[in-house]
Amino acid sequence: MGQAPGLPAAQRARVPWTTVAVALLGAAALVSAVLLIAYAEPWLESPGQVAVVIAVAALQLALAGIVAKGAPSDVTAPLLASIALVLVLTNCVRTDALGLFEGAWMLLYLPLALVLLVVPAGRPASAAWRAVASVLCGVVGAFVVGNAVRSTVAPESDELTVVGFVLLALFFVLLVACTVAPFARYRRAGELERIRLRWVLVAGLSLPLTLLLCWASYLAFGTPDLVGAGLLVMFIAIPTGATIALTRPQLFDVDRAAVSTVTALALIAAALLGLSIASAAAGTGMDEWPAVVAATVSASTALAGVIAFPFARRGFDRLLYPERARSVALLRRLSSRVDAGLEQPEDVQRALRESLRDPGLIVAYRRFADRALVGLDGKRVTADATATTVRSRGEEIGAIVPSAARAKRPAAAIARATAPLLDAVRLRSELTVAAAEVEASRERMLRAGYEERRRLERDLHDGAQQRLVALGMQLRVLQRGAGADDPIAASLDEAVAQLGTAVAELRQLAHGVRPSALDDGLAAALSELERLSPQTIELDVRAGELPDAVATTAYFVVNEAVANALRHAEASSIRVVVRHENDELLVRVSDDGRGGAAVRTAGGLTGLSDRVSALGGRLSLHSSAETGTTVEASLPCGS
């Protein structure tokens, strides 16, 4: 049939051949399952065995469908579907009438072996491994055909028997080679392919588990009955591991699962070795031991394994994944040094970059206000699929974001070790921002106060003071018009005197709000201050044009320090130095008085300290009976 007319090319795209193959194999497996339920020998002896076979076959078909959807061109999907077909087919044949199917058991292992050869690239790693796959298929085919010929045509043929043993030995050698294939591929793989291969390697641990179960079965019961459980695990683990490797390799921390599995297998092997030595020493197998002794020894061995597990796991973790162990150890040392005040929590990013060998790695935290993810430099950060979330007390506080060149997500153990340091960075950053906002608010309020004082001083000078002066002049004119003996003249004279006193008080008030002399610059204002005691005060002022808030604050610093020296310190010499250097105004007032000055809870010096701090400056005080008192202020005045 031709393609449907009128459809665009995108809609006429072919269905991937792997999907078609999975569908055909699934249909064949379904038919075989029906035959298994209806006619197979296991149904007569063990219905549970049939249920297990069908359940495992259904799992293989489900995994094949997932792979076909996630990796539509990968050959792994048909291989997984073929496992389902082989499982039900091999169980459909009666054991007392194998005949042509006597060697079909090899078919159970062929798809699994091929999966180990092709995952995750969808093909063998090299020409040599392609040869291994071809030879393996040829050996299985020859073994099945040879056994069929020997069973039906030449049952007494010694030559076919020898050939069968040779093929069997070669088959086991090739199976071992397929088991080694992921390790060989891992050495030359890139980072993403290594992450995928880790799933295959973890799933491949089901093979040593099967061998350990066989060992335990012989030790405890004298028969290999537990091998069936190991094979069942293997038929589930390897296809599942291959599926995750191809579709969701970042599902969770596979390294952690690998370490736990290796640790468990090592402890089981150690326990079996100990029990084997005990059996050899006793001269009997455990199945011949008294029940109480066997139960006691088994329970003691299991308890020892549980106790040893966390210690052994840490050892295997350092052995198999030194990068993670190195990072966790480095972060713990950094935490200790931060607690001792020797380093800063912000060093966590540097430490992770060194331990993970990723110069582009970013440690980011969640801001409290808007929950935005920002780096230590305050810039927004985007977390991709390789980022690892960092949590503290159940709350997401940030993330570890690898560079674009890295495909592996940092381990959860590293995130847990990072959490206390990142939490400290987050709190410190937020406190710094809050303190900066408070300082900015104080500066804005101070500048607004200065502007308001300047306006008030101007209004007093140009408004009320001028009106009072004009009123005094009018009264003087009226006074001259009256006679000398006129009582009104005396009253007018008294009113003029009171107005003069009011003007003087108003001028003092305006000067206290903001010295009008500052209109001519800081040097002019301080020169007027020098006239208070010219023999005592020495001025050295070198300051150009300054912002009004800076000039006003500097004037009040000098005024307060000089007033304290004259009133309280009984100073005979006061030196005032003002310098404008590098966008900073430096003010220094020193005297030779009796000292004893201090910044107290309330007082003039405390007010000065607040004024200076509000502008982002610093005020320091040094006072003693031997050296007198020195007040120093540093005020930023850059544009």
- DSSP string of 429-494, one letter each residue: HHHHHHHHHHHHHHHHHHHHHHHHHHHHHHHIIIIIHHHHHHHHHHHHHHHHHS-TT-HHHHHHHH
The dihedrals phi and psi of 400, each to the nearest 5 degrees, come to -105, 115
Question: pLDDT higher for 364 or 101?
Answer: 364
CA distance 149 to 167: 15
pLDDT tens-place string over residues 79-128: 999 998 888 887 776 655 555 567 778 888 889 899 999 998 888 988 99
pLDDT value at residue 7? 40
pLDDT at 409 over 70: yes
- The share of the chain scoring above pLDDT 90, in percent, equals 13
Q: How many domains is the chain partitioned into structurally?
A: 6
Choose among 472, 451, 455: nearest CA to 463: 455
Flag whether 160 is in a domain. Answer: yes
Flag whether 6 is in a domain. Answer: no
- DSSP string of 3-31, one letter each residue: PPTT--GGGGPPPPHHHHHHHHHHHHHHH
pLDDT at 321 over 70: yes
Query: Do 169 and 200 belong to one domain?
Result: no
Q: Which of 44-48, 220-224, 318-322, 572-576 has the highest mean pLDDT?
A: 572-576
Question: pLDDT higher for 116 or 222?
Answer: 116
CA distance 322 to 310: 17
pLDDT at 442 over 80: no
367 and 374 Cβ atoms separated by less than 8 Å:
yes
Q: Would the CA dihedral through 90, 92, 93, 96 be positive or negative?
A: positive
Domain that holds residue 355: 323-431
Which has the minimum average pLDDT: 21-30, 222-231, 272-281, 307-316? Answer: 222-231
Name the CA radius of gyration of the chain, rounded.
46
Flag whether 122 is in a domain. Answer: yes
Helix axes 191-204, 254-282, angle to 10 degrees: 30
In this structure, what DSSP letter does residue 546 have?
A: -
Single out the residue in 188, 210, 242 at which a domain terminates: 188
pLDDT value at residue 568? 81
Query: Do 395 and 470 belong to one domain?
Result: no
Flag whether 3 is in a domain. Answer: no
In this structure, what DSSP letter does residue 121 have?
A: T
CA distance 177 to 492: 124
Flag whether 2 is in a domain. Answer: no
> 292-316 burial, b if ≥16 CB within 10 A, otherwise e?
eeeeebeeebeeebeebeeebbeeb
β-pairing, 537-542 with 395-401?
A: unpaired
- The share of the chain scoring above pLDDT 70, in percent, equals 81
Which has the minimum average pLDDT: 8-12, 171-175, 257-261? Answer: 8-12
Query: Do 199 and 314 belong to one domain?
Result: yes
Query: Do 263 and 310 belong to one domain?
Result: yes
CA distances from 324 to 253, 359, 369 (A): 12, 16, 33
pLDDT value at residue 132? 93
Query: Do 296 and 207 belong to one domain?
Result: yes
Flag whether 288 is in a domain. Answer: yes
Query: Do 205 and 309 belong to one domain?
Result: yes
pLDDT at 483 over 70: no
380 and 395 Cβ atoms separated by less than 8 Å:
no
Query: Do 226 and 248 belong to one domain?
Result: yes
pLDDT band, very low/low/confident/very high, at 507 (cuts 50, 70, 90): low
Query: Do 89 and 110 belong to one domain?
Result: no
Flag whether 1 is in a domain. Answer: no
CA distance 232 to 210: 9
Question: To the nearest whole number, what is the mean pLDDT of the chain?
Answer: 80
CA distance 212 to 264: 11
Query: Do 296 and 332 belong to one domain?
Result: no
Query: Do 529 and 630 belong to one domain?
Result: yes
β-pairing, 537-542 with 574-581?
A: parallel
Which has the minimum average pLDDT: 89-103, 195-209, 402-416, 542-556? Answer: 89-103
pLDDT tens-place string over residues 335-356: 998 888 888 998 999 999 988 8
For the chain, what is the total number of helices (H) and then of strands (E)?
A: 20, 9
pLDDT value at residue 135? 94
Choose among 172, 276, 179: nearest CA to 220: 276
pLDDT value at residue 259? 84
Which has the minimum average pLDDT: 40-54, 285-299, 581-595? Answer: 40-54
Q: Is the pTM of this model over 0.75?
A: no
pLDDT band, very low/low/confident/very high, at 462 (cuts 50, 70, 90): low
- DSSP string of 347-412, one letter each residue: GHHHHHHHHHT-TT-EEEEE-TTT--EEETTS-B----TT-EEEEETTEEEEEEE--TT--SPPPH
Residue count of the chain? 639
Choose among 300, 315, 338: nearest CA to 262: 315
pLDDT at 601 over 70: no
pLDDT value at residue 44? 47
Q: Is 253 helix (H, G, I), strand (E, B) or coil?
A: coil
pLDDT at 316 over 60: yes
Single out the residue in 299, 318, 337 at which a domain terminates: 318
Query: Do 222 and 173 belong to one domain?
Result: no
pLDDT at 2 over 50: no
Query: Do 312 and 332 belong to one domain?
Result: no
Flag whether 116 is in a domain. Answer: yes
pLDDT at 614 over 90: no
Single out the residue in 318, 341, 375 at which a domain terminates: 318
Output the 3-class SS for 164-229.
HHHHHHHHHHHHHHHHHHHHHHHHHCCHHHHHHHHHHHHHHCHHHHHHHHHHHHHHHHCCCCCHHH
Question: pLDDT higher for 92 or 45?
Answer: 92
